[in-house]
Amino acid sequence: MIAKLNLLPWREERRRQHRQRFTALLAGVAGMVAFGLWLASGFLGQQQQIQHERNSQLSNEIRLLEQQLSLLPEMDRQRDALSQRLAVITDIQKGRNHITRLMSLLPSVVPQGVYLKSLVMTGSHTKVEGVGDSNGRLATLLSNAESSEWLSQVNMHSIVLEKGEQEREKTQFKASFVLRTPQEALLAIKQGKKELPGD
């Protein structure tokens, strides 16, 4: 009777249980892997959507920048035109200051007995024509002009003696000088009212 005892069904049962556990474990792992893949896929999809939105925003910004850059040549032209206008206005302003300075300077330079007939100013270069009662008066005119810190390159071009009304002699003259800028005048004052180099 003992010879007929068979332990195989117990082993078979044990094997079947192991297979069931393995299959359940395998199914659980497969489910976890599938769930993990689903989560990863969702995360990657979300990141891809965010990246698409960023790319779209960058494309819009690039378009706006390109539109603004296309305006640069026109803005450069406008800036150049404004610079030219400002340069003209500055030149006019400088010229107006020159004339005002010259008109305020002439009474201290031209002595009594000397009369100016014409005054032509080109930039800072000035030509004058006039008459004087005597050569002494013209010498005073030259001395005053040369000692002024505002005038340089003082030259007497011609002196002509002629008889005027009632047989009085008059001396006609032509002279020229250069009106200094405020910086040059300040330098002349510092140098003791000497002529600037090149004058």
- 173 contacts 138 by C-beta, under 8 angstroms: yes
**pLDDT at residue 194, as a whole number:** 46
Task: Work out the average pLDDT over 165-181.
Answer: 76
H-state helical runs in the chain? 8-70, 72-109, 135-147, 182-190
For domain 110-191, the CATH class is alpha beta
**pLDDT at residue 32, as a whole number:** 93
- Give the model confidence (pLDDT) of 84-112 as tens digits: 888 887 776 666 666 777 777 778 888 88
Name the 3-class secondary structure at 160.
strand
Q: Check whether 177 has a pLDDT greater than 80.
A: yes
Nearest to 172 by CA among 124, 127, 114: 114
Structure tokens at 28: 């659980």
CA angle 186-190-196, nearest 5°? 75
Q: What are the φ/ψ torsions at residue 116 (nearest 5 degrees)?
A: -90, 130
Domain boundaries, the chain: 17-98, 110-191
b (16+ CB within 10 A) / e for 59-71: eeeeeeeeeeeee
- Give the model confidence (pLDDT) of 3-41 as tens digits: 565 556 777 888 888 889 999 999 999 999 999 999 999
- Answer with the residue of higher pLDDT: 128 or 162: 128
Cα-based distances in Å from 113 to 9, 116, 131, 135: 152, 10, 8, 10
